[in-house]
Structure 1
Amino acid sequence: MSRRAQSASFFLVATISRLPAPALLASLYAILIGVGTILLRLPFSHYGDVGWMDALFTSTSAVTVTGLVVVDTGSAFTFAGQAIVAVLIQMGGLGLMTFAVLLLSALGIPIGMPQRIILREDLNQTSLSNLGVLVRRIFKIALVVEIIGAALLAIVFVPQFGWANGIWQSVFHSISAFNNAGFSLFSDSLSGWVTHPLINFVVPMMFIVSGLGFVVVGDIMKHRTWRPLSLHTKLMIVGTVSLIIWGTASFAVLEWTNPGTLGAIDGFWGKLTAAWFQGVTPRTAGFNTLDTGAMRDETTLMTISLMLIGGGSTSTAGGIKVTTFIVLILATIAFFRRRTQLHAFGRSIEKDEVMKVLALTMVSMFLVFVALFVLLVVEDQDFMVLGFEVASAFGTVGLSMGATGELGTVGQFIIIFVMFLGRVGPLTLGFFLATRSIPRVRYPEGQIYLG
C-alpha cells in the first residue's frame, strides 16, 4: 500500500473514531448496507435482472428490517442471494453491535468502554450496566423463537414444497417474521394462506413477541407475575394488547363487506382470521394475507397510524414506539386535568422523558411530511398511496399499496433515506437529547398564548 493510501486510511479511521456513538453506529449500518448491495449485485446472487439500484434498495430494506421491495425476492434472487438477504435481516434486526459483542465475548476479548457506549445506543438503553447480559438474552430469545417458528412453519411448507425448499422457506420466513422484516419469498406475501390457522398464529406471534422488546420479554421471563414487572414492561403489555384489539376490530368493521379484502372470504371465522392478521401486521411486521391496495381509504388511514406508532424499544420493530405514544396520551390527559406530574401503575414519569417524547415525535412528523411532500413533487401518484409508502418506510413496516415498485430513481432514493432514518435516526436524535447542558444565562419568563 502506498504512503498516500496509508495516510488516507489512517485519516478515515481517525475521523470515524471521533464520531459520537450514534453517528458511528449509523455509519456502521451504512457500511453494512453498502456491503449488502455489492453482494446482492454479484452474478451468483441473482438471475440477471437485478441492477445496482435494485440491490441498494433491497439491501437497505433488509438491514433496516423494512420489507419494501422493488424486485420479487423469491424469483429475482438465487438461493445465495436469498441467504444474503436473510443474513442482512438478522444483523439489522438484532443489531450490529449485538453481533460484535457476542463475537468478542466468544473470542475472550474484553469489551471496552467505547464498544459499550455504541452497544448502549444500538440497544436504546440508558445505562452501561448489564449490557452483556442483555446481549446474551437477545440471542437466546432469537434462537429459540426462530427455531420453534421454523419448525412449525415446516409443517405447512414441507408437504407443499418438498424437504429442501420447504425447510428453506420455513427458515427464511421465520427469520423475517421474528425480525419484523416482512420479506417473503412469495410474490403475494402470505396471501395463499389467508385463512390457514397455523400460519395466522405462528407468524403474528413471532413478530408480536419480538416487537415487545427483548427487555420486556426478559422481564416477563424473570418475574412471571404482574406486580414486580417494570413500568416499561407494563406500559408495553397494555399498549400492545390495546393496539392489537383496536387494529383487528377496526379492520374487521371497516373491511367486512369490501369485496377486495374481507368480503371475498367465506365464513365468519375466515374473515376474523384475516382481520386479525391485517390488524397486527402494521405493527412493523410487513406481511400481508390480503391485497393492501384494495383497502378502503379509512382503513388505509388507520393502518398508517399503526405503522407510525410501531412496536417497542429494544426490539426489532420501528416507528415512534408504543411507549412514546402512551406517554403522549398521558401527557395530554395530565394537561387537561391540570396535573403537574405524570404517573402510571404507581410510578412517576419525569418531565425530561416527556420532553424527549415530544422531540422524537416532532422530528418523526417532520421527516414523514417532508418526504411525502418531495415524493408528491417528483412522482405522479395518489396522495394516500404515497403517504402509505412513506409511513411504511419510516415505521420499517414493509406494507405497500404497489407504489414502491413504480417509483423513479429519485423516489426510490427518498424511500431509502426514510427507511434508513426510520431505523437509525431515533438513536442519533436520542444521543443529542440525552446530552445535558446547564444554561449560563437565565432569562425572565415571558408569556405566550397557545391554542
Structure 2
Amino acid sequence: MSAPAKKIELTPPQILVIGFAAIILTGAVLLMLPVASANGTPLRFLDALFTATSATCVTGLVVVDTGTYFSTFGQIVIILLIQIGGLGFMTMSTVFAFMLKKRISLKERLILQEAMNQGSMEGIVRLIRKVIRYSLTIEFIAAVIFSIRWSIDLGPARGIYYGIFHAISFFNNAGFDLFGSVTGPFSSLTHYADDVIVNFVAMALIVLGGIGFVVISDLLEFKRNKRLSLHSKVVLSATGTLILVGAIVIFVFEFSNTKTVGSLSWYGKLLASFTQSVSPRTAGINTVDLASLRQATQFFIIILMFIGASPGSTGGGIKTTTFTTLIGAMIAMIRGKEDIVFFHQRLGKDRILKAITLTMIALFLVITVTMLLSTTESHSFLVILFEVTSAFGTVGLSLGLTPDLTDFGKVLIALTMFAGRLGPLTLAYALGPKTEKELYRYPEGKITIG
C-alpha cells in the first residue's frame, strides 16, 4: 500500500509570490490579444509580460507608450492590474469574500497580515475594510476633479475617461498615463508643468497612496483618539522632510537649467520642483524632461526612489521608516547612546536589525542588476542605475532606457519590479528554507568595527 501524498503547505510569503505571478501572467495573456492594441497587432509575449509586471507592481516603466499603443480594452486591462496590484490581490479577494458573506479564515488573515506588512493579525479584517473604503473614496474624488479639468481640454467623454484612469494610476503610485496620445509618446504630464489643479491633485494622490493605509486611518480617527501612533508620526515627519528637502534641492540644482524648470516662472519653478520631489515617492509621473535634468539632480532622485514610500502603502522602496531607523541608529551611535528614540519611544533591536537587513538586500539587488545591465545595454552607467532603482522602488520614472532594453534587460527589470513590489524580505522568506528555532547559542565574540 503506497504512502499518502504529502500535502504541500505554502507559507503566506509564498502564497503572495504565487498570487502576484498568476495575476501578471493573466494580464500578459490579455495584453497579447489583438484587441488590446490600437492597430490590432498582437504584442510580443515578453513585452506583454513586462507591461503586466509593471502594472501589477504599480511601477510605470513601459516598453511601448500606453496612450498610443494600446486600445481602450488594453488600457482597461492595465488599470485593472494597477488597482489589483496596488491594493494587493489578497485585499481584492477579501472584497469578494465580503460580498459573498464568506468568513475570513485564519490562514487568509495571516496572508493579509503579510501583505499589509502588519506586526499582528489583530484588527486586520477591519483594516482591510478601511483600505477599500478609503481607496475608493479618494480615487472617486480625484477622478471627479480630474474629469472636470480635462473635459475642458479633451471634451467630456475623453476627459472623464482620463480622469478615472489617472486617479487610479496616481493613487496607486503607478506611473502609467495616457497623454502620449495628446502631447506625444512618453510625454507624461510635461504639458501641465505649471497647472495648479493637475499638479496639486496628482501630488495629493501620490502622498495619500504612499503614506500607507494605517496612517490614513490614524489621521481620520485623530479627532476621536487625540493621538497618533509612533508609526504614523515617523511616517508623516519623514515624508514631509523628504518632500521639502527634495523640492529645495531640485529647485536649486535646476533653477538655471532652461531645459527643465529654468524656463518657467518663479511659481512654475516651485510647482515643478515639488512635483518632481513628490513623484520619486514611487509615483513615476514627471512634469519636466527627466533626461534634461543635471546629473546631480538625477542622482539625487535615485536616492529618493531608493527610499520610496511607507509601509502598508501602494509604493515600494526600502520605505521611509527603514531610512529613518538607519538615520536614528547613526545618530545614536555618534552620540554614544544605546537606544534609538523617536518621539520619546525606544525602538526594539529587532526593528533595527530588520531595517539593516532590508537595506542590505535592496542594495545588493540594485547593485547586481545594475552591473549586469551595464554589460548588455548601450547606455551610461547613471541612466542604467536610474532605471534599475526606479524598477526596484516601483517608481516608473525613466531616462529613456526602458523602450531600448534588450530582451535580457527586460527580464531583469521585470524581476526587479516584482521583487520591489513584494519587498525583498517577503521574497527572501518565500524562496528561502523554512526557519527552525535554534536550540543553542554560540559564545559571544568581538571584532573591530571601523
- Shift of residue 14, structure 1, vs aligned partner: 5.3
| Among 51, 74, 80, the residue aligned to 1:87 | 80
Letter in 1 for 2:248: A
Could you say which residue in structure 2 is the equivalent of 1:388?
Answer: 386
Kept after mapping to 2: 8 A contact 1:121/1:427: no
**1:214 maps onto 2:213 in alignment:** yes
Which 10-residue stretch deviates more, 41-50 or 18-27? 41-50
Aligned to 2:183: none
What are the within-5 Å matches in structure 2 for residues 289-438 of structure 1?
A: 289-426=287-424, 428=426, 431=429, 438=437
The answer to whether the 8 Å contact 2:419/2:427 transfers is no
Give CA deviations for 1:118-149 in whole Å, capped at 9, x if unaligned: 11111111111211111110111111111110
Equivalent in the alignment of 2:60: 67
Alpha-carbon offset, residue 260 of structure 1: 1.4
CA contact (8 A) 2:251 2:269 kept: yes
One-letter amino acid matched to 1:322: T
Equivalence for 2:146: 153
Following the alignment from structure 1 to structure 2, what is the Cα–Cα distance between the partners of residues 33 and 204?
A: 28
Aligned pairs for 1:37-76 within 5 A: 37-46=28-37, 47=39, 48=41, 50-76=43-69
Tell me how far apart the structure 1 counterparts of residues 326 and 401 of structure 2 sit (CA, whole Å): 31
1:184-195 to 2 correspondences below 5 Å? 184-187=177-180, 188-195=187-194
Local SS of the residue matching 1:282: helix
- The C-alpha deviation readout for 1:226-255, integer Å capped at 9, x for no partner, is 961100000011001000101111100000
Structure 1 window deviating more from structure 2 (412-421 vs 224-233): it is 224-233
> In the alignment, is the contact (CA less than 8 A) between 1:327 and 1:354 conserved in 2?
yes
Would the aligned equivalents of 1:40 and 1:84 in 2 still touch at CA under 8 Å? yes
C-alpha deviation, 1:425, in angstroms: 3.3
> Would you say the 8 A contact 2:358–2:425 is kept in 1?
no
Identity of aligned residues (%): 41
Q: State how far apart, in whole Å, the 2-side matches of 1:111 and 1:44 are.
A: 37
Task: Work out the CA distance in 1 between the residues paired with 2:231 and 2:56.
Answer: 27
Assess if the C-alpha contact under 8 Å between 1:50 and 1:76 holds in 2. no
Amino acid at match of 1:260: K
CA contact (8 A) 1:179 1:316 kept: yes
Q: Normalization by structure 1: what TM-score?
A: 0.94
Shift of 1:430: 7.5
Aligned to 1:5: none
Among 69, 88, 110, which residue is 1:117 paired with? 110
Aligned to 2:263: 264
* Deviation digits for residues 178-200 of structure 1 (CA, Å, limit 9, x no counterpart): 00001000120111111001001
Alpha-carbon shift at residue 447 of structure 1 (Å) = 2.0
Amino acid at match of 1:84: V
Q: Render the CA deviation track for 1:256-303: whole Å, top value 9, x for unaligned.
A: 1112101122x2111111111111111101001100111111001100
* Count of residues in correspondence between the two structures: 437
* Paired residue type of 2:206: F
Query: In structure 1, what is the equivalent of residue 203 of structure 2?
Result: 204
Normalised by the length of structure 2, the TM-score is 0.94
Structure 1, 341-350 or 414-423: larger mean CA deviation: 341-350
- CA deviation profile, 1:401-440 (whole Å, cap 9, x unmatched): 001111100011110010000011335158589x986533
CA contact (8 A) 2:339 2:346 kept: yes
Q: Which amino acid aligns with 1:133?
A: R
- Which deviates more from structure 2 when the two are superposed, residues 196-205 or residues 220-229? 220-229
Q: 1:8 — aligned with what?
A: none
Distance in structure 2 (CA, Å) of the matches to 1:278 and 1:335? 33
1:442 and 1:153 map into 2 onto residues whose CA distance is: 59
Distance across 2 between alignment mates of 1:378 and 1:332: 37
Which of residues 279, 282, 299 in structure 2 aligns to 1:281?
Answer: 279
Q: Is the 8 A contact 2:316 2:423 kept in 1?
A: no
How far has the Cα of 1:377 moved from its partner? 1.3
Distance 1:61 1:160 in 2: 28
For residues 267 and 152 of structure 2, the distance between their equivalents in structure 1, rounded to whole angstroms, comes to 25
Write out the 4+ residue segments of structure 1 that deviate beyond 3 Å after TM superposition: 224-227, 429-433, 435-439
Partner of 1:250: 249
Any conservation in 2 of the 1:124–1:427 contact (CA below 8 Å)? no
Q: Do the aligned residues in 2 keep the contact of 1:360 with 1:429 (CA within 8 Å)? A: no
